[in-house]
Amino acid sequence: MNKTYHPGLHRFSVFVCLWTVLLFIFGALVTSNGAALSVPDWPKSFGTWFPSLRMLAGGAFFEHTHRVIAAILGVLVLILALALWKKDSRPWIRWFGVTAVGGVVVQGVLGGEVVRQLLHYWLPVLHACFAQVMFGAVLSIAVFTSKWWIEDRPQLQDSGSPSIHSLAILNAVVTFLQVFLGAGFRHQEIAIWPHLVGSAAVLGVMIWVAAALRRRFDDSRELTFGRSLLHALVGTQILLGFAAYWSRLVTQGAPQPAPVMVWLTVIHTVFGALVFASSILVVLMCYRLVPRHGAVTVPSERRAAV
């Protein structure tokens, strides 16, 4: 493992993560305000790269701002990939950065097709879900470039079954499926009940994973933090979900999206991204701290197959 820590590279990757959260906020504002087709063309807005404020009245402001933030994110990810290639000697993370650039391009094309195809063919749902995948990729780069990941860490023994790696991955998969169901409901492709069932599944799997972390690794500060993070975010997200749905019911007859509904939905949507990010973080923690079955730690700190 590369032992060189580049603090500037890590800080920049964290900044890219935060910028991605900003993109989630404006993406949720587009959906919650019903502004997805307020700008009818793509990649330009009203036939120009720099529309005037008069052109951006109403929902067009949210849609165009979302595009601008997304374009800046594309530039940031490209810069991050170049910085990884120049500063980091680990080949796998260099190519991971290149893959992230490709993912941003795919996400941009998906966003354009959402407009060109007039929200048909489940494209808004795919666009929302792939955004979560890209957030997970950017978050992973931030973790991989951190001092915590690069420095040697004491390895923990997992004596339980199924393995903590399998449980953590299951938690991330179930959370992603719930993101898909939430996006389907938000874009009016499916009913509410699959999303409600999914929330119960997320809660159940999270409790299972958190209990395993506590039972097997109660002395680990990092995994205790991961367990607490899952508890806090999933619990808050479920409460936000009920609040967002309540706001839809009480403002159903409003001529325009009510602010209380818009902001509760935005917060719920963004929090969903943070829940998925926390599940990815726990997966990375488990793989960094707990050797997989069939591997042992040797004196040179390298892993060898048994």
Among candidate residues 126, 151, 176, the one where a domain is terminated:
151
Residue 295 phi, psi dihedral angles, 5° rounding: -130, 145
- For residue 304, what pLDDT is reported? 34
The answer to whether residues 1 and 106 belong to one domain is: yes
The answer to whether residues 59 and 124 belong to one domain is: yes
The answer to whether residues 78 and 205 belong to one domain is: no
The answer to whether residues 11 and 135 belong to one domain is: yes
The answer to whether residues 144 and 171 belong to one domain is: no
Residue 103: pLDDT above 90?
A: yes
The SS3 assignment for 39 reads coil
Q: What's the mean pLDDT when you consider all of the chain?
A: 89
- For residue 165, what pLDDT is reported? 94
pLDDT band at 1 (very low <50, low <70, confident <90, very high): very low
The answer to whether residues 243 and 293 belong to one domain is: yes
- Fill in the DSSP letter of residue 45: B
Among candidate residues 110, 126, 151, the one where a domain is terminated:
151
The answer to whether residues 83 and 1 belong to one domain is: yes
For residue 289, what are its two tokens? Answer: 């701290």
- C-alpha neighbours within 13 Å on the C-beta side of residue 179: 27
Which amino acid would we find at residue 109?
V
Residue 233: which of 283, 267, 195 has the closest Cα? 267
For residue 249, what are its two tokens? Answer: 């019911």
- Ramachandran area for residue 305 (φ above 0: left; ψ -120 to 50: alpha; else beta): beta
Q: In sequence order, what are the beta bridge partners of 296?
A: 304
Among candidate residues 89, 118, 151, the one where a domain is terminated:
151
Q: Percent of the chain having pLDDT more than 70?
A: 94
Residue 140: pLDDT above 90?
A: yes
The answer to whether residues 139 and 165 belong to one domain is: no
Residue 38: pLDDT above 80?
A: yes
- For residue 3, what pLDDT is reported? 65
For residue 75, what are its two tokens? Answer: 């530039």
The answer to whether residues 14 and 37 belong to one domain is: yes
Calculate helix-pair angle for 91-116, 123-144, nearest 10 degrees.
Answer: 160
pLDDT band at 293 (very low <50, low <70, confident <90, very high): low
Residue 252: pLDDT above 50?
A: yes
- For residue 298, what pLDDT is reported? 43
Residues 6+ apart with CB under 8 A from 120: none
**Contact at 8 Å (CB) between 124 and 183?**
yes
Q: Minimum mean pLDDT among 73-77, 98-102, 121-125: which range?
A: 121-125
Average pLDDT over residues 133-157: 93
Q: How many Å is the maximal CA-CA distance in the chain?
A: 69
- Fill in the DSSP letter of residue 252: T
Residue 182: which of 139, 110, 125 has the closest Cα? 125
The answer to whether residues 243 and 121 belong to one domain is: no
If one counts the domains in the chain, the total is: 2
pLDDT band at 299 (very low <50, low <70, confident <90, very high): very low
The answer to whether residues 73 and 105 belong to one domain is: yes
Average pLDDT over residues 69-84: 96
The answer to whether residues 171 and 133 belong to one domain is: no
Residue 168: pLDDT above 80?
A: yes
Quote the pTM value. 0.89
Q: Which residues constitute the domain of residue 195?
A: 153-306
**Contact at 8 Å (CB) between 237 and 272?**
yes
For the stretch 184-242, pLDDT in tens is 998 889 999 999 999 999 999 999 999 999 999 988 999 999 999 999 999 999 999 99
The C-alpha atoms of residue 257 and residue 270 are separated, in whole angstroms, by 18
Average pLDDT over residues 276-302: 76
Average pLDDT over residues 29-34: 88
Average pLDDT over residues 255-261: 82
- For residue 254, what pLDDT is reported? 75
**Contact at 8 Å (CB) between 164 and 212?**
yes
